[in-house]
Chains A and B, each alone.
Chain A
Amino acid sequence: MSNIWKSVKLDFSLVKPYVKTICFTMVLPVIFAAINRSLLTGISFAMCFIAMTTGYTFSITEKNSMERLYGILPIRKSDMVIGRYIFIIIMGLTALIFSLIAHPVILTILGESIGIVDYISAAVIGIFLFALYTVFQLPGYYKLGSIKGRVFMYIPVAGFLITLLLITKSPVGESKLLFTIFNSPVLLMLLTIIFVIVMYIVSILVSIKILKNKEA
């Protein structure tokens, strides 16, 4: 078992007592999806809420000064950071998959129909939003800790509100490039995934640098 995977499991064992709480936070977006009759709304809320819980591993570590345990274990700092990112991504994907099942079910029950395009774009936007929130949050937590870095917990909220604004304004029609991209689901998906991967790689490298240069 590589050290990265061990680090993921360690993070999970930290968060285990709070799993129920996190699960409850996934219930509210279902309700929002129902109210707005929109899969996109529901997914956006869900990703916002799950991104707000990414600080748990940091705050739990700080509560017991567990960074000392991390300092003792025979594991490279880069492996610890990558492991944490993977843990966060797993959390996000789990929430996304749950929402992509639960929300359509509720919406279908309420009489809404969901096209395959809506479904795929909701999934892709969900991945993108989660990545966007977390690539800024994690370096922030590494740099400032979960208390001073509290503000980073609200990045998803700010980002979400901006997303809502953009959804209602829908500037897609104004740019020829954007028009082409948004009309081709395959292209959109590809670009999103590439962008997400690049964002995470950069974010991970930044976080590793921050951890290696820790001053106090």
Chain B
Amino acid sequence: MNDYLEVRNLSKSFDGFQLRDITFTLPKGYIMGLIGPNGSGKTTTIKLILNMLKRTGGEVKILGFDNITHEQEAKRNLGVVFDSNYFSDEWKISQVEKSVSAFYENWNTQKFSEALKRFHIQPSKKVKELSKGMQMKLMLACAFSYDAKLLILDEPTSGLDPVSRDELLNILSEYIEDGEHSVLFSTHITGDLERAADYITYISYGELFFSGGKDEFIDGFRIVKGGREELSADLGKKMLGIRNFSTGFEALVKTEDLKQFVHLNVEPATIDDIVVFTSKRGEQYE
């Protein structure tokens, strides 16, 4: 079992929004960042993977199990963290364990209490008494307790301070260290992924823009900067997005087109740059 998550031609139609042919694969032992502007379909993709929404087309396999015909088996090894708490806020931590552990054969109470200790979560508290960051860690603690092999996180860092975000990335790096676990991390805070992600899947307005290695993704683009007079219609065609100002311009180009821009300032592009320039809002910069 080398590919922990396989998504093929996943599609979903709503009124006014369509997710089309999303295809990507996450192999065992790596972190994949799922990026894209807000509303582009990241959460929809995750809900489709979890079969919380009925898909229009395509196929999803989690650890080799089809997510609809073998929904139960697929979810046994899956841990999920959402951007907000999904337990009853009246529950005490002990009730959380009681309620959730019943569904997982390999739930390890020791692992759960160790995780709580590590995350500084007091077992006597009620869910509503925990801070947002703690609630997120509680969801993680549960996933660790049944040794979920695939962890899916949907915007886990929105609303968290930089310290907590950093903590989470440390936790995730440790989680994949043994090569037997994978992480799918959906976020619009791409700085988090800049270093730690192995793979990137970029969904833009319902369509797959890119899926592959992060280094390859970043290396495939450059930022070019120059003065107004150095801009021409021909050059403009090769730019994926441009920002004009009174003193010049900056634009995103593909590395393969770089020879046409050698006379300009060339800089590496960050994931943020790429997303901003290639999203439709980037076009409005023209």
Contact = CB atoms under 8 A, between A and B. Distances in A.
Instruction: Judge A-B direct contact (beta carbons within 8 Å).
Output: yes
A216 B88 contact: no
18 contacts: A3-B72, A13-B91, A63-B88, A64-B88, A64-B89, A66-B86, A66-B87, A66-B88, A69-B86, A72-B86, A74-B71, A74-B72, A74-B73, A75-B75, A76-B71, A214-B52, A214-B54, A216-B14
Contacts of B104: 74
Contacts of A60: 88
Contacts of A112: none
A212 B50 CA distance: 12
Query: Which residue among A10, A17, A67, A69 has the maximum number of chain B CB atoms within 10 Å of its CB?
Result: A69
Contacts of A10: 99, 102
A6 B72 contact: no
Contacts, number: 77
Nearest to A73: B103
A74 B85 contact: no
B82 interface: yes
Given A69-B86, A216-B14, A6 B103 contact: yes
Contacts of A67: 52
Given A6-B102, A17-B90, A73-B100, A212 B54 contact: yes
B89 to A, nearest CB: 6
Interface string A172-216: 000000000000000000000000000000000000000011111
B86 A68 contact: yes
A72 B91 contact: no
Interface in A1-19: 1, 3, 6, 9-10, 13-14, 16-17
Interface of A: 1, 3, 6, 9-10, 13-14, 16-17, 60, 63-69, 71-77, 212-216
Q: Which 9 A-B pairs have the closest CB atoms?
A: A74-B75, A71-B52, A68-B86, A69-B86, A74-B76, A72-B80, A17-B90, A74-B72, A6-B102
B72 A75 contact: yes
B84 interface: yes
B96 to A, nearest CB: 9
Contact of B50 (A1, A3, A16, A72): A72
B4 to A, nearest CB: 16
Given A71-B52, A215-B54, A9 B102 contact: yes
Nearest to A213: B54
A60 B88 CA distance: 7
B95 interface: yes
Contacts of B90: 16-17
Contacts of B281: none
Interface in B84-114: 84-91, 95, 98-100, 102-104
A67 B51 CA distance: 12
A215 B71 CA distance: 18
Contacts of A17: 90
A13 B72 contact: no
A64 B52 contact: no
Contacts of B79: 72
Contacts of A66: 86-88
B86 A214 contact: no
A71 B51 contact: yes
A95 B75 CA distance: 36
